[in-house]
Structure 1
Amino acid sequence: MSAAGKALWYIETHADQPLALADIAAAAGLSPFHLSRLFQARTGTSVVRYLRGRRLTAAAQRLANGAGDILQVALGAGYTTHAAFTRAFSEQFGQTPERVREQGTDGLTLVQAIRLDEAPSACIEAPRLLDTPAFQLAGVGMRHTRDSSGAIPGQWAQLNREWPTPAPVSFGVCCNSDDDGGFDYIAALPASTVPSVPAHWRRVDIPARRYLVAWHGGHISAIRSTWFWLLDHYLPASNLGLADAPDLERYDARFDEHSGNGGVEIWLPVEERPH
């Protein structure tokens, strides 16, 4: 079972117990940061939001089935007061617990258990470790939600318009992710190769650190399948964990920006996991 699958199983089997992100991460064999990134990527939602939604869905079903004491339902969902439960329940479903007990769950958007489609694609070449010195990148940055990443190719088009000089190496930078699936993406060039960085470009300082470098040889549109495999299969089976630092995509002369073929390196910041 994949690490994300282990986390989902643990949530489903322990949702009626006190649960923290660290507990779920430990069950999956990952750090909390690694699990947060992986879970968001594989499911489209955060661990905390999914757990809350599953607990409140179970509570709504109990109420619809005639549960008499709302406070007991609240306690079973992890809330210590009637008021806190009612507030969370109303925010989740747009209905009060009392109304759902009277009218049932028709019309509610219940959070169903997620079953993952095991579709990650393994690297043909074995990933390698690389220790890099600090360097700076500069380019076109944009904040994305989990639904807006389709706009990333437009950032590269803008970069190419504003800096048409061919660059031997360029980087895609993914950083500052949040629990709602938001992240910053910068289509960038090494700042040392740009004599005069445009004022509206964003600069990103990449610290000296260790990266796991993996080769994605397929079309660029399928890069997430390789990324999923690294986070969900390769790293959990190694003694490495994902570090809280920017992820990088490194493009060189092998990549054809017109067709999207040729391959790209995925650089994941890693650190040794405690034993």
Structure 2
Amino acid sequence: MKPINRALNYIEEKLAEDIRVEDIAHACAISPFHLSRVFNYLTGYPLGRYLRLRRLSESAKLLASTDSDILSIALEVGYDSHAVFSRAFKAEFGITPREFRLHKSLLMLNLLQPITWSSTMNITIPTPKEETNLSLTVIGASHRFTGDKNPREFLISTFLPKLWARFSEIKDQAAPGYLQIIKDAQSEDVFDWFSGMTVSKAKELPQGLESTEIHWERYLAFPFCIIGDRLRDFIEAIYSDWLPTKGLQYRVAEGSHIQWLKNSPNISTPEEAAELIASREKIEGEIWIPIL
């Protein structure tokens, strides 16, 4: 097992204990200095901050789902006093544990789920959220790839730039961002592709665009914030490294997934779209995978 995954596993196992960076480094058989540098580089989090965020995230779940008193929860996630825990919680989330308990809505907090490291794709995989009852209407454009062209080259050079330049024509948008939908995938080069924006209704379609419906009972949502050209590696890591470790816990509906991109491209011409793709800026969103 790679040192990064040893560190991640050790943190989860010892979350309630008084552990230090030196303890984690010892368990990984490398120096604290080297571990701190590698951990920050691979996960995007300084080691101490990751540990703190994981403890506070677990404490928020306990505050929302149990009647345990705040001190008991503080002790359960590795804090030795009510006061220290409350200060850390408020510093991170902008609200005290007592105030949060009045609302008990985890959606109001930016929680950090456990991360898995994919050595195959050299990328981190956050633990997904299990969601239910996805029902969407999407307006955009589709393309059927049959193995006669390189999908990535065609999407980047032709399909996406033209479509993004028309997003302003789509009315009644229901949510921010846009979707990239992969259906009936038989291989890397044979699948159906649909890109578009969610709408509250699809009564008027701009000329040349089409609509599709999505209805899933259950799905996993994997959050990401990565350089755009690494999105394919992130998806590959989910299928090759994360899902195989879950055994029978999740039965994946084969051949389909959705890429939700948080921010819609603010462009008006294909040329601007091409510049955006080439910029290597980070993109944020989620990969949605249907489960049975």
TM-score between the two structures when normalised by the length of structure 1: 0.42
Relative contact order: is structure 1 or structure 2 higher (C-alpha 8 Å, sep ≥ 6)?
1
